[in-house]
Chains A and B, each alone.
Chain A
């Protein structure tokens, strides 16, 4: 049995999942004096002892438990788009810290596709500024795109990586603007943490603590403020009271089941596990799953298209050196009437280590690469440069999370994740692959491989003003159950065309403010 602080008490808030959103919520709400319990399915790691400069052994930073995948374009899950353990995905993300742009919130108004968000850029702007300052985001003095042009709290990273310089050279030759990426990675000391040493293993966990994660920043502050953070605790059910309000959750730790009572339950378990938990918590009152009167729980999931283009150069590039993403362009971010598609994409120079490199190449477009060709490519590993895309993918009702008949080790139905690209998505990808190829060629390379890939997940519990067509309001409060909140990327209405973590954390700050305000007015009471 675990040592517990709040075992038999009803706490103010229980948070399910200690990732980007859960970490922020835990810190904010506990510092406001609320009693908080955080339940995280994965372990509590020590960066110094548990991380390693190694791809294979760090695969378990992702959610490896099997998901069934389906659709025309079945997704690669695991380390590709999820985290497991305190810190969640922030432990192994590339730390690219972009804001969404005003147009991201208005796809319906501007382009007649998807839906508008119930909030706009201006609603999130103060939260973007707050979170960027809180973790000392490094970035350029002038960022050329979107609604915010800098300066960032900390100076831009310097030096960059060989692949980033190559990318910027290629962009320069074509008249494409490029910039050092805004990163949640320190360029100078901050709060006892050192600046980055260009070790290059952001995706395997940062050992020097130069890269932000909620594991090293928000969770320790939450614990200091009194939060109880429990690792290796898989939440299996959200518990309902008789009055139609939630009363807590049940969770499994080392084979035993426990309950945690709470006035407010917040799900921050990301795009697959949040809907899965709501669906697995179905009961007589909510036979289709909790908070699902609209039928939208699990629907409208999105990824970012993330095709990689590899080109071979006459000189060594060495993709392993330095922070994976250091240079970016958003010149193709917004809808352009000259295109045969709407919306857009971000392009990044993106490093690669041998396992990621070979796994990608082996799944190359046009048939698998293996045997002698793979071996020859590997021997020339140091001569390849790479550009990757973060492309907007439009939401579709058929792209969704459902439950299967197959059970996991807890006896819970596994999630099934169905995904197919739409017509606009594939046209956008073709355009981006063309641009990535021309940048690499302008830099002197010869394009050899295009790798179909995806990154990030969004949607599945989308926000909206209309309770019949959305799951939560803009604060993440479910339309159906006033003391049940959802706060993670599952509440996104559209995917945007840039890395989502800044937006996830800003939404979490906004939800935290809302809950604090409600608590002050004593509007958040437990199940009777």
Chain B
């Protein structure tokens, strides 16, 4: 992955030996390929891959692979959603039926499946969903659009921002046990933190 941020040569994983074992094993496991989805079908995973990439404007395959694995695991087996608004289907149903509606919706509106659309139209269709404006109406009558968008966003963002490649890119030095952070005045950095490169 090309690092596009202010810290092109920073790699947070170079510091992993300084982390406690539990943190190290959790973070390192995110770099392993996730396969054999337990909830998502092949077709659903394909659509989600595209949707999630648009939501965070990043197509890096290994990062998206982790995001999909996280979504699959959460929908397969989750201790709960924390909260769900009255009238909104449970997450597995919301996502499954939501993906169906996205595909059918674009077929009716553009005579093409979601994956066949160009990036501009895909993005526009997701924007419509985020504003509860996606059409045609009959296909969306049973799926609450904003909650669908919010659920997709929340599942995508929590996984995306947990991938060490993204940590490196944004200059997040991350785990700091047992060593902690020592230089914490404004403008100070510890020697192992990301340094801005001009």
Contacts and interface: CB of A to CB of B under 8 A. Distances in A.
B23 A52 contact: yes
A354 B196 contact: no
B130 A53 contact: no
Contact of B86 (A161, A358, A363, A416): A416
A193 interface: no
Contacts of A76: 82-83
B6 A382 contact: yes
Interface in B83-137: 83-86, 90, 123, 130-131
A68 B123 CA distance: 30
Contacts of B174: 53, 320
Question: Which secondary structure dominates chain A's binding surface?
Answer: loop
Contacts of A381: 170-172
Contacts of A159: 184-185
Interface in A11-64: 48-57, 59-60, 62-64
A357 interface: yes
B26 A320 contact: no
A35 to B, nearest CB: 32
Interface in B43-92: 54-58, 70, 78-86, 90
B39 interface: no
Interface in A289-321: 315-318, 320-321
Contacts of B180: 196-199, 208
A67 B82 CA distance: 6
Interface in A352-396: 353-355, 357-359, 362-363, 367-368, 370-372, 374-375, 378-382
Nearest to A159: B184
Contacts of B54: 371
A379 B57 CA distance: 12
B13 interface: no
Contacts of A166: 186
B: contact size bracket: 35 or more
Nearest to B84: A66
B33 interface: no
Given A197-B180, A357-B161, A371-B123, A54 B82 contact: no
A442 B118 CA distance: 45
A317 B150 CA distance: 29
A466 to B, nearest CB: 32
Interface string A196-225: 111111000001100000000000000000
B172 to A, nearest CB: 5
B150 to A, nearest CB: 8
B57 A374 contact: yes
Question: Which secondary structure dominates chain B's binding surface?
Answer: loop
A401 B187 CA distance: 47
Contacts of B181: 197-200, 321-322
A200 B86 CA distance: 36
Q: Which of A68, A358, A359 has the most CB of B within 10 A?
A: A358
Nearest to A67: B83
A504 to B, nearest CB: 22
Q: Which of A49, A55, A165, A374 has the most CB of B within 10 A?
A: A374
A226 interface: no
A221 B176 CA distance: 29
A54 B162 contact: yes
Contact of A74 (B4, B70, B83, B169): B83
A68 B193 CA distance: 42
Given A78-B83, A354-B167, A378-B170, A207 B161 contact: no
Contact of A320 (B80, B85, B131, B172): B172
A227 interface: no
Contact of B173 (A70, A75, A320, A417): A320
A258 B21 CA distance: 37
Contacts of A77: 82-83
A53 B23 contact: yes
Contacts of A362: 153-154, 157
A518 to B, nearest CB: 38
B42 interface: no
B160 interface: yes
B140 interface: no
Contacts of B171: 316, 318, 381-382
Given A54-B23, A55-B162, A77-B83, A197 B4 contact: no
A374 B123 CA distance: 14
Q: Which of B20, B55, B172 has the most CB of A within 10 A?
A: B172
Contacts of B80: 64-66, 78
Interface in B1-42: 4-6, 19-20, 22-23, 26-27
A50 B22 CA distance: 7
Interface in B147-198: 149-150, 153-154, 157-162, 166-167, 169-182, 184-189, 193-194, 196
Contacts of B23: 52-54
A162 B185 contact: yes
Contacts of B170: 354, 378-379, 381-382
Contacts of B185: 159, 162, 165
A76 B19 CA distance: 31
A160 interface: yes
A203 B54 CA distance: 30
A186 to B, nearest CB: 13
Q: Which of B82, B177, B178 has the most CB of A within 10 A?
A: B82
A417 B177 contact: no
A79 interface: yes
B162 A66 contact: no
Nearest to B154: A359
A69 interface: yes
19 contacts: A48-B20, A52-B26, A54-B162, A55-B162, A66-B80, A66-B81, A78-B82, A80-B82, A162-B186, A165-B186, A196-B180, A207-B177, A368-B153, A371-B54, A375-B57, A379-B6, A382-B6, A382-B171, A416-B86
Interface of B: 4-6, 19-20, 22-23, 26-27, 54-58, 70, 78-86, 90, 123, 130-131, 149-150, 153-154, 157-162, 166-167, 169-182, 184-189, 193-194, 196
Interface of A: 48-57, 59-60, 62-70, 74-80, 159-162, 165-166, 196-201, 207-208, 315-318, 320-322, 353-355, 357-359, 362-363, 367-368, 370-372, 374-375, 378-382, 416-417
